Amino acid sequence: MAPPPFGANSAAARDVATVLHPYTDLQAHQEVGPVVISRGKGVRVWDDAGKEYIESVAGLWCAALGFDNERLVQAAVAQMRKLPFYHGFNAKSHEPMIDLAEMLVQRAPVPMSKVFFANSGSEANDSAIKMVWYMNNALGRPNKKKIIGRVKGYHGITVASASLTGLPANHRAFDVPLPGFLHTIAPHFYHAANPGESEDDFATRCADELDALIQKEGPDTVAAMWAEPVLGAGGVIVPPRGYFPKIQAVLKKHDVLLVADEVICGFWRTGNYWGCQTLDIVPDILTCAKALSSSYLPISAVMVNQRVFDALAKESHEIGTFGHGFTYSGHPVPAAVAIETLKIYDEMDIGTHVRAVGAHMQQELRRRFADHPLVGEVRGVGLLAAMELVQDKAAHRNFDPKERVGARLTKLVEEQGVIGRTVINDTLCFSPPLIINEDDVDEMLTRVGKALDELTVELRREQIAVVR
């Protein structure tokens, strides 16, 4: 057997020997090894061999201010020196947690009452699930506990949040979803619309299917629905205009809470401060993470409205405590970095920048790739986009997953100097740092185009692609 493509004492070899990687083919990794990233600057990162890459997804949709923001570094250093750790248990507090909670409530898309802090989007959504259950116990509705997610939705990977997620790879072999977690249709017009159906009619059908699901389960058993404004890991799916008002009318009719998962869409990613503002959503609970600190340190948040908080407060008083929380909830150092991050967004007027550069990225993606023989759909909003590859463009038919076309494109894109990410249905996603400029967008798409053309040649040679 040929030796692996990395030296025996290299960082890659040491990684293979000791690290269990998330979202990785663990067996293949033993032979192929990792790409070891050693430094970053702006929208670019470099591996340990010195190769430069444009980071087209900002790490994991999250490094909004790029990879070398000195103000965030100094915010962490200053807080480490002043108070490197304290907790929020048993009514203890500290100024960074208080200041950040105030800033989030002030910036919320709808009136919110309180903020609970956690360490990741998964933890935030898991916490919100527990809050919904706790609330209904407080209100004397012990059967109103079922949670609805959407097919292709992504809300995390704890046992509960993975149950809420609607992606096969997050369920298979993990024994999830747990009982009580339901999934309704993904609002993806490209794949799910009936022949001749308008976007408005499709949105109405999505709402009707949700209504039917709640009626079937029993409205007195359904507690909440989770929704990303734009579905991220499910393929950057932008719902049709009017979708959320129709969905919310159904939820209101059955007294079902709406939880907006803003982990990807929050903090200007879609061109507004919140995806809720872009997609006309009025949530009862909002979860956020990632760009909250530009992901320089782990932190997430759950915002709840007054109705939810009142129920939590009532039940915690009867029990004597709200028995939920994490050692690092509201940790002062990540909180200080998040505070500085929000200040930078305000000072930069990052929203104006995102709307301008986002419009350019959306236009260029469509101009360059919409007519490409392998591209079925280009979609997105703001600095969030996707390009879905299909085997048959006319039929909207995807490639057989066994062909691993998306993984092949990711590898070719990487060889061209772009770190990309493909998700379900061979969909290449774009979510670059919010600070990206138009020249870097153009360079990123030029490199992607070269990789796509190379893949096209390979697939035609292998007679995998449909040639028209």
pLDDT of res. 6: 73
How would you classify the pairing of strands 52-55 and 418-419?
parallel
Mark whether 103 and 84 lie in a shared domain: yes
Within a domain: 282:
yes
Both tokens assigned to 53: 């890459």
Note the pLDDT tens digit of each residue in 94-142: 999 999 999 999 999 999 999 999 999 999 999 999 999 999 999 999 9
Helix (H, G, I), strand (E, B), or coil: what is residue 261? strand
pLDDT at 442: 98
The alpha carbon torsion through 163, 164, 168, 171 (nearest 10 deg) reads: -10
Calculate mean pLDDT across residues 40-57: 97
* Local confidence band at 468 (pLDDT 50, 70, 90 cut-offs): low
pTM value? 0.96
Query: Do 300 and 355 fall within a single domain?
Result: no
Angle at 226 between CA 222 and CA 232, to 5 degrees: 155
8 A C-beta contact, residue 321 and residue 327: no
Cβ atoms < 10 Å from Cβ of 386: 26
Q: Do residue 141 and residue 61 come from a single domain?
A: no
Is 276 found in the same domain as 184? Answer: yes
Domain boundary among 313, 347, 381: 347
For the chain, the C-alpha Rg in angstroms (whole number) is 22
d(CA 359, CA 338): 27
Would you call 13 helix, strand, or coil by DSSP? helix
Strand 418-419 relative to strand 375-381, pairing: unpaired
Name the average pLDDT for the chain. 96
Domain boundary among 347, 377, 393: 347
Domain identity same for 322 and 273: yes
Q: Does residue 414 share a domain with residue 315?
A: no
The whole-number pLDDT of residue 330 equals 98
Number of domains the chain contains:
2
Q: Are 75 and 64 found together in one domain?
A: no
Q: What are phi and psi of 231, to 5 degrees?
A: -65, 125
Host domain of residue 263: 71-347
Strand partners, 392: 397
Question: How high is the pLDDT of residue 467?
Answer: 53
For residue 275, the domain's CATH number is: 3.40.640.10
Strand order in the sheet with 181-184: 114-118, 300-304, 285-288, 257-261, 222-227, 146-150, 181-184
Q: What is the pLDDT of residues 203-231, one digit of tens each?
A: 999 999 999 999 999 999 999 999 999 99
**pLDDT computed for residue 4 by the predictor:** 57
- What's the mean pLDDT in 420-442? 97
Q: Mean of the pLDDT values across residues 146-166?
A: 98
* Confidence check: pLDDT of 335 > 80: yes
In single-letter form, the type of residue at position 274 comes to W
d(CA 274, CA 104): 11
Q: What is the pLDDT of residue 365?
A: 98
What is the per-residue DSSP string for 145-172? -EEEEETT----SSHHHHHH---GGGTT
Residues 128 and 61 both lie in one domain: no
In this prediction, residue 9 has a pLDDT band, given cuts at 50, 70 and 90, of confident
Give Cβ neighbours of residue 357 (< 8 Å, ≥ 6 apart): 383, 436, 437, 438, 441
Read off the tokens for 200.
Answer: 């408005």
Least confident residue range of 9-23, 131-145, 311-325: 9-23
pLDDT at 1 over 90: no
What local confidence, expressed as pLDDT, does residue 8 receive?
74
Amino acid at 80: M
Does 174 lie in the same domain as 292?
yes
How much is the pLDDT for 2? 47
CATH number at residue 419: 3.90.1150.10
Q: How would DSSP label each residue in 11-41?
A: HHHHHHHH---TTS-HHHHHHH----EEEEE
* Percentage with pLDDT > 70 across the chain: 98
Mean pLDDT of 328-345: 98
CA distance 285 to 127: 11
Residue 243's H or E segment, with its range, is helix 243-253
